[in-house]
Each structure stands twice: as C-alpha cells, then as structure tokens.
Amino acid sequence: MSTTDVLTPAPPTTPLRRLGTAGILLLALAATVLVAAVHLTQGTSSIGALDLLALPFGDSGNAEEAARVLLASRLPRLMAGLCVGVALGVAGALLQAIARNAMASPDTLAVSSGAYLAVVAASAFGPALPVPVSGGLALLGGLAAAALVLALSAGGRTGTTRLILAGTATSLALYSLTNLVMILFQQETTGLFAWGSGSLVQSDLAAVTQLGPLIVLALAAAVAAGPRLDILGLGDDAATVLGVNVRRLRLWLTLLAVLLAAAAVTIAGPIGFVGLCAPVVVRLLPKSIPGLHRHRVLLPLSGLAGVLIVLGSDIVLRAVLGAQAGVEVPPGTVTTVLGAAVMVWLARRYRDAGPTRRPPEARTGAARSRTAFLVVVAVCAVLLGGALVLGLLGGDRWLLTGDVANWLQGRSGRALTFVLDQRWPRVLAAVLAGAALAVAGTAVQAVCRNPLAEPGVLGVTSGAGVGAVALLTFAPLAGIWAMSAAAGLGAVAAFGLVYGLAWRGGLSSDRLVLIGVAVQAACTAITVLIIVLSDPWDTAKALTWLSGSTYGRVPVQLIPVVLALVTVVPLLAWLRRDLDLLSLDEDTPRILGVPLEPVRLGALAGSVLLTSTAVSAVGVVGFVGLVAPHAARALVGAHHVRVLPVAALLGGLLVSLADTLGRTVIAPAQVPAGLVTALIGTPYFLYLLWRARA
C-alpha cells in the first residue's frame, strides 16, 4: 500500500453510490412508472384504480366505460406528459451544455415563446393545420427566438444576467405579439390563453403518435453526441485541440434542442421552466457516482426528471383543486412557480460576471448646459401637450381641435360631449401612469446600479398585477381605493420577497435582477391561474388587463396616481444627490456619509408606490421604466435633478402615444397600450444589450 493510498480518504459509501449509474437510471424509470400509474387514476369520471386494474380481465361491471375513458382521455393526457417531459428535460440539458450556463433553458432563451407565437399565428391566419405543419412552424419560431437571444448574450457564456435579460426581453416582445394576435382574432384563437401556459388536455393521440417518434430520434441523436458534449465542457480551445468542430457541434445541438422544445409546444403549449428544473435536479445528485454527470447518462436522466416534474405537477394540481381543474387549469402554472424557485436558488448560488451591469453607453450621460436642459424640458413639454391633444382627437371617431375648444368652453353638442367625457380620463391616465413608471424606473436603476433594471424586471409590476387581478376576481364591485390598495400590497409583497432573497451581506445588482425575473414569472403564472380558475373563457378581459389598457377609465381612478406622484417625486428630488452617489458604487456614498440603506429603501418604497398605483390605473405596462430613464440620461446627462423631470415627461409621452396609436390604428378595435409600449421598448432594450456585447 502506497503513502498516497493511506493519505487519500476513500469516497463515502452512500446508498446512491452503491446503486451506481445503472441503478440510478432504473430507479428513475421505476419512479416514472409509478407516477404514470397514479396519473392514470385521476380524471373527471368515476373510473378509479380498481376499475383500471380489472380492465385486462374484463370482469368489471363497467369495463367498457373504463376502456373508453382510458383510451379517449387519460392515456392521451399521460402520453402527452411523457413526451413533453422528455422533450423539455433533454432540451434544457442540451442548452445548458451549449451555453455552459446553468440558467439556460427553452424558457430563458425564449424558444417556447417563439414557438408559441408561431402556433397562435397559424391558428389565427389560416385553417386548421396538421400536426407536422404546426410543428414545423413552431420549430422555425423557436429557432429564430433562440438565435436572437444567443446572439445578444454572446452564446450565454459572458454572464448569466445578460442571458436572462436578453431572454426576458425577447419573451416579452413575442408574448406581446401573441397577445395582440389573440385579441384581434379572438374567435379563431379561443382557448389558446390557458393553453399558452401549458395544457395536457388532448382529444386524441394524433399529436403524440406523430411527434413522439421525432422526440425519440432527437433524444438518440443527443445521446450519441454525449462524448463530444463532455469534451465541449472543457472549453472551446481544448475541444478544438481534441478534434471537435465546436461551431458545427453547437449549431446541430442547438437545432436539436429547439426541435425538442418546438415539439413540446406543439403538443401541449409552452409548459414553463421544466427545461430549467430537470437538468438542475439531475446535477444535484452526488458527483461521486461514476459517470452520472456524463451527458450520455445526464441527458436521459434529465428527460425522466422532466417527466416526473410534468406529471407530478399535474397530479398535485388535480389532487389539490379537484379533477375539473385538470381540464381548466394549465399545469404549466405549477411548473413555472417551481422553476421560479429553482431560478432563485441558482441566482443565490452563482455570481454573474457582470458585463451587462453598466453598458458603456448607459453608464453616464454627457454633461449638458443649463440652457440645453431647459430647451429639452420645453420641447418634451410641448410634445406631451401635443400628445394630449392628439389623444383627445384620435379614436374610432376623429375630432377637430375646434371641437375640443368648444367642449372646453361647454358649447359642444351632446354626442361630442359624451365622446370627450369618455376620452379625457383615459388620455390623462396614460400620461400619469407613464410618468409614474418612468420615475419609478429612474429610482430603481439608480439604487440597483443596473441601467437594464426596471420595476417590471424586479417583479414589482407583476406583483401589483396579482393583487389587482385577485381583487377584480373575488370582489368585482370593489372601489378604486381598494384596487389601489390591493395592487400596492401585491407590489410590496413581491418586492419585499425579491429584496429579501437578493440580500446576502449586501445587495448584489445581478442577484436582484435574476431573482426579480424569477418572481416576475411566478407572479405572472399566479395571475393566469386566478383568471383561468375564475373565468377560463373570458380571454379578452384577461389579455386586456395583462397587457395594460386605458379603456373605460373614470376620473376617480386617476387620484391614486396623482397622489403617488405628488408624494414620491419631491422625495426623490430631495434624495437627488444621494441617488447620484448610489449610482456610482457601494463605497463612495458610505465614505461621504450617505445613510445607504435608508436612502435605498426610501427610493425603492417610492418606486413601489408609483408602480402599484400605475398598475391599478392602467394595468400592466412594460418597459416604460426602462426606456424613459435611458432616453432622459442621453438627453440631459446623468444627474438625477435633471433626469427625473425629463424621464417623467418622456414616460407620459410614450404611454400617451402608445394609447392613442392602439385606439386608432385598427379602430373600432383597440390594441392595449401595454402591447404597444412593449413592442416599442423591446427593440431599444435589445439594442442596449447588443451594444454591451463589446
């Protein structure tokens, strides 16, 4: 026995280590069979486990009914869960290996969103398409989205924050386009809202039988490429030296991953975060087990883990909410909440490289003279005034400026008075909400020292949406103040959760953003769950609220936003120098005696108040808090005494123009203002990420 043998301790002998790789695979397969058996016993009919067990013997009194239920409902649902779980689990493992990033998945790379948009567009603009054609369109949509996100994030290897932000922005743009299609073609896309969160309801086995073999072939191809994936994990240079064509391998494996994700979306819609969770669960297994983390084993294990997550979520959903919930409630809401928890855990474990934290063009603004600042303010004010007038004139019926002048003087006719009395509250609501979101975004970016942050990315907007939608659902007759309070409570709860989870001996900008994105996804899933449980067929109401709309606003709804602006703007103006120092680094304000935590919490509390009142007034409107502060810094410099008023004017201008455009472009139908702002803001957001690649 050598000295090395004496000094080197033997690895601990655990039960899992004694099982070995083959034993782990068999154990996962046995667990899958057990979960599948339990899944078959659930349903809306009275057929239970004993009836299904007696079916092969034919001695059950209702054997014919049991066979019909099994073949027509439960078996298609089970097979859909199996196919979707395997496809998403393997796709997630492949994307994580390609990007060498534990947070890469079909969701964070917007693959599912791109595929979903393609399927919805096909349903809206064309006749019912066969499964292979729908799958092909989903593949093209997912591939285009993944290519864009990977290009913006430099393949995902330059930092987790860049990858997640690029995927989030692309997903929001695609989600906005999808919502727009569903609003414009409501009859053609009936039922696709709940399906958009992932639904295992199947009318037959057609989709499974046609796409199942494709999933098996893709899995086999991925497993065959396992050894080269192991080499790729050593780094591009080492893999090239060892004879691996890195570019070609990455291209083909990306195509395989997108193909698997597109097949899953075609079968069951975008079931969220399974591709993120499944590989993470497998990687949590002890590394001491020989060969367990090699991709020839990790890929099929990730597929089995995906099946367990999908079927387990469906079982839990129907066990807690009842059998009918399996038809009405998408299991994707459960997997999204689970995936958000996994994403939070990953964000707390990993530290980002941070190149997106301060892109060169957004770090500071060029100095401007006082005269230039006053000119910018004057021009923005004039443009905002023009937007207000345009908002009063535009709509399904265009008016003249003379009509508005007569209305202001009380000399207009009854019909004209009715039209303008309906328009002015929504025009003013758009301006006030836009200003509130812009000021909130300015404060959030200063506190987080992340020019790519905004209230929506930090979960505040979606948290306010949960509170407001819950009140609308369970107390539809509640007043304006109750709505503002509910939205405020939701925003405070969401941000408190984000802030608490991101705090680890200090506040990390990257952790705050990543955890905020996770909480945002969870809150959005909860909102969908509330809407689907309360009224699964009222798609227009759900989409209009989630997309932000000024429709039907009354003057009293504007009061909370006005009060929030009157309260918070002076507070932030008073803290303007502290915000300037906070946006630099962590040490400078401490050295200069700035009470860091009180200032930070005060600014963020003001942002939460502004965001919650804006959401209660116009619903969920995204990216205003990102675009307006950036544009303001580009125009007047980085000092907050100048950024705050210009950002408020630009935010009001942006939402006002978006609202007017949404009311006029397809009148008498309307496009929610939030969809327009998302479509305007997303390109700018992606531009910032692209410029930050260097």
DSSP 4-19: HHHHSPPPP--HHHHH
User: Which amino acid is it at 639?
Assistant: H
From CA 36, how far away is CA 53, in angstroms rounded?
A: 14
CA gap 143, 380 in Å, rounded: 40
Rounded to an integer, what distance in angstroms lies between the CA atom of residue 151 and that of residue 353?
17
Positions in the chain short of pLDDT 50: 1-10, 352-365, 537
**Considering only CA atoms, which of 111, 184, 187, 99 is closest in space to residue 145?**
111
Q: Do residues 254 and 98 make contact, with C-beta atoms less than 8 angstroms apart? A: yes
User: CA nearest 442: which of 651, 616, 635, 659?
Assistant: 651
134 to 128, 165, 178, 684: CA distances (angstroms) = 9, 29, 16, 31
Q: Is 201 left (phi over 0), alpha (psi -120 to 50) or beta?
A: beta
Cα angle 502-504-508, degrees, rounded to a multiple of 5: 55
Measured distance CA(531)–CA(472) in Å, rounded: 10
Could you give the residue range(s) of every CATH 1.10.3470.10 domain in the chain?
66-189+206-346, 369-691
The dotted CATH code for 66-189+206-346 is: 1.10.3470.10
With 0-12 CB in 10 A as exposed, 13-18 as middle and 19+ as buried, what is 381?
A: middle
In single-letter form, the type of residue at position 209 comes to: T
Cβ atoms of 510 and 354 closer than 8 Å:
yes
Task: Please tell me the predicted confidence (pLDDT) of residue 359.
Answer: 38
Contact 335, 313 (CB under 8 A): yes
SS3 507: strand
First vs last Cα of the chain: how many Å apart?
55
Does the pTM of the predicted model rise above 0.85? Answer: no
Write out the DSSP string of 518-566: HHHHHHHHHHHHHHHHH-TT-HHHHHHHHH---TT--GGGGHHHHHHHH
C-alpha distances (whole Å) from 391 to each of 412, 428, 557, 651, 662 are 18, 9, 18, 15, 11
How far apart, in whole angstroms, are the C-alpha atoms of residue 213 and residue 233?
A: 29
- Neighbouring residues of 561: CB distance < 8 A, sequence distance ≥ 6: 429, 432, 433, 436, 613, 614, 617
Between the CA of residue 147 and those of 144, 154, 157, what are the distances in Å?
Answer: 5, 10, 14
- Cis peptide leading into residue 570 (ω within 30°): no
Protein fold of 369-691: ABC transporter involved in vitamin B12 uptake, BtuC (1.10.3470)
pLDDT digits (tens, 9 = 90+) for 288-320: 676 777 888 889 999 999 999 998 888 888 888
What does the pLDDT look like over 250-292, one tens digit per residue? 888 888 888 898 888 888 878 878 888 888 888 887 776 767 7
Provide the greatest CA pair distance for the chain: 106
Q: Which long-range contacts (CB under 8 A, 24 or more apart) does 187-193 make?
A: 188/123, 188/124, 189/120, 189/123, 189/124, 189/539, 190/537, 190/539, 191/537, 191/539, 192/120, 192/123, 192/269, 192/539, 193/528, 193/532, 193/539, 193/542, 193/543
Using DSSP's 3-state secondary structure scheme, residue 503 falls into strand
Q: Which of 180, 112, 98, 103 is nearest to 145 (CA)?
A: 112
Amino acid at position 516, single letter: G
Place of tokens 């073609």: 185
The reported pLDDT for the residue numbered 123 is 77
CA 625, 626, 632, 637 dihedral sign is: positive
Owner of token pair 């090699």: 294
